[in-house]
Amino acid sequence: MSVVFDAHAHCFPPLAENSGGMMRERLGELQHHVRFHGQGIRRTRDNAVVTKPILVGEKDGVSWQPDVDFRFGSFGKLEFKHEGEDHHIQWMPPTLWDMSSPAEYIVAQMDYVGVDRAFLQHDRIYGYLDDFFAECLRRYPGRFVTGAQVDEWKGGEPDQLDRLKRQVKELGASALYFSTGGFFHNDFETGVNDESLRPLWELVGELGIPIHWSPCAMVRPIAQDYIRELRELNEWADAYPGITSVLTHGLSNIFLEKGSPDRYRIPPEIASLLERDGWHMELMLHLMAADVEFPPYAEDLRNVVRTLVDDFGAESLMWGSDMPCVERTVTYKQSKILFDTQCDFLTTEQHDAIMGGNLERLYPL
């Protein structure tokens, strides 16, 4: 029987808890990440939409970030003040009343939807979850695969290498999750091809683990910067051809280029990655086109899947949900619809590969 394996899920304790420390740094990085968020900003007293980019600094990076008392709220909200007024972003679905996503909640959702396994992405905005993830693995053996985390802007330093080794050798992590959003902390002076990170890549190779990449520096202009990051990943892939990689949040250009006639294109920089041995891409298309009335039925997304399968083969593609974030747009169950019922051009073998078989090959039980 085919396995259903979600390439993108999150477990985390209540976000306002200082999980692993460095709350100020976590909030700063998250503020940078959401400053142009598709959910938009609202003034809290009357829920009015605010179009002014009030979270944006003069330049990009920690040194220019506006001080707005940015903080975690409740019911899925991020809260902050501007000119004495309370504002918020509905970042998560309102059902996350205490801003947590415990393992038992995600497992219950997986059981309901029919998902066998899930990869837990380890982004710092949710906390330093090394030991929390180990407990998720202990409580639900066989249901989760976890990504390790390092502080990316100093990932080649000895303490970060030791942390990665502990996560893999002692805590059960099976991959490295690497977000370029972490470069925010040194004003984006570091990049994935910096010599300072060479010890990290060498350790990843020694450990024999994949990297799940999130190219989300979001330096302005953001759409162009995404393409720049993809070019840098191609340069990195030239240098480290033996490291298996997954491009998470695949085809972010669909979100970043809303309104463009070329919005649904496959950038040549992504094509170049998918043509390489050992490279894969997560498809979270329902959130990349969250502005569409009901994304799982969008013909443009069906055409994207058809093009990807025709040009690169189903074996490089992986369905991801972004649970629980997904439920501000569609339900967890609905996030499967595009592949389960709308892409009738897929063979059974292609469908099963995308919905879990490809990820199962990377992380067999």
Q: Which domains does the chain have, with CATH numbers?
A: 5-13+98-362 (3.20.20.140), 23-90 (no CATH)
- Distance between terminal CA atoms of the chain? 14
Q: Which helix (H) or strand (E) holds 82?
A: strand 77-82
Residue 361, phi then psi, degrees to nearest 5: -65, -35
Question: What gap in Å lies between CA 34 and CA 187, rounded to an integer?
Answer: 17
Task: List C-alpha distances in Å: 286 to 33, 93, 124, 302.
Answer: 19, 15, 24, 11
Q: Are strands 5-9 and 279-283 parallel, antiparallel or unpaired?
A: unpaired
278: tokens are 């050992």
Q: Which of 15-19, 45-49, 289-293, 301-305 has the lowest mean pLDDT?
A: 15-19
Question: What gap in Å lies between CA 209 and CA 2, rounded to an integer?
Answer: 24
Q: Which amino acid is at 193?
A: N
**pLDDT at residue 18, rounded to an integer:** 85
Beta carbons within 8 Å of 302's beta carbon, 6+ residues apart: 338, 342, 343
In tens, the pLDDT along 90-142 reads: 999 999 999 999 999 999 999 999 999 999 999 999 999 999 999 999 999 99
What mean pLDDT is predicted for residues 240-254?
A: 97
β partners of residue 211: 176, 245
Residue of 122, 14, 150, 120 whose CA lies nearest to 71 = 14
**pLDDT at residue 99, rounded to an integer:** 98
Confidence of residue 347 (pLDDT cuts 50, 70, 90): very high
**pLDDT at residue 19, rounded to an integer:** 77
Q: Which letter, b or e, does each residue of 64-80 get, where b requires 16 or more Cβ atoms within 10 Å of its Cβ?
A: ebeeeebbbbeebbbbb
Mean pLDDT, all residues of the chain: 97
Residue 1 has pLDDT above 80, yes or no: no
Is 263 strand, coil or helix? Answer: coil
Confidence of residue 357 (pLDDT cuts 50, 70, 90): very high
Residue of 356, 273, 272, 285 whose CA lies nearest to 314 = 356
| Vertex 314 angle, CA 203 and 304, to 5° | 105
Question: What gap in Å lies between CA 282 and CA 266, rounded to an integer?
Answer: 14
Q: Which amino acid is at 9?
A: A
DSSP state of 13: S
Is 328 strand, coil or helix? Answer: helix
Task: List C-alpha distances in Å: 8 to 17, 177, 335.
Answer: 23, 11, 12
Assess contact for 39 and 89: CB atoms under 8 A.
Answer: yes
Question: What gap in Å lies between CA 348 and CA 164, rounded to an integer?
Answer: 38
Assess contact for 307 and 266: CB atoms under 8 A.
Answer: yes
- Count the residues in the chain: 365
69: tokens are 């008392």
Question: What gap in Å lies between CA 235 and CA 278, rounded to an integer?
Answer: 15
Taking phi first (over 0 means left), then psi (-120 to 50 degrees means alpha), and beta for anything else, what does residue 251 get? left
What mean pLDDT is predicted for residues 177-195?
A: 98
Q: Which helix (H) or strand (E) holds 262?
A: none
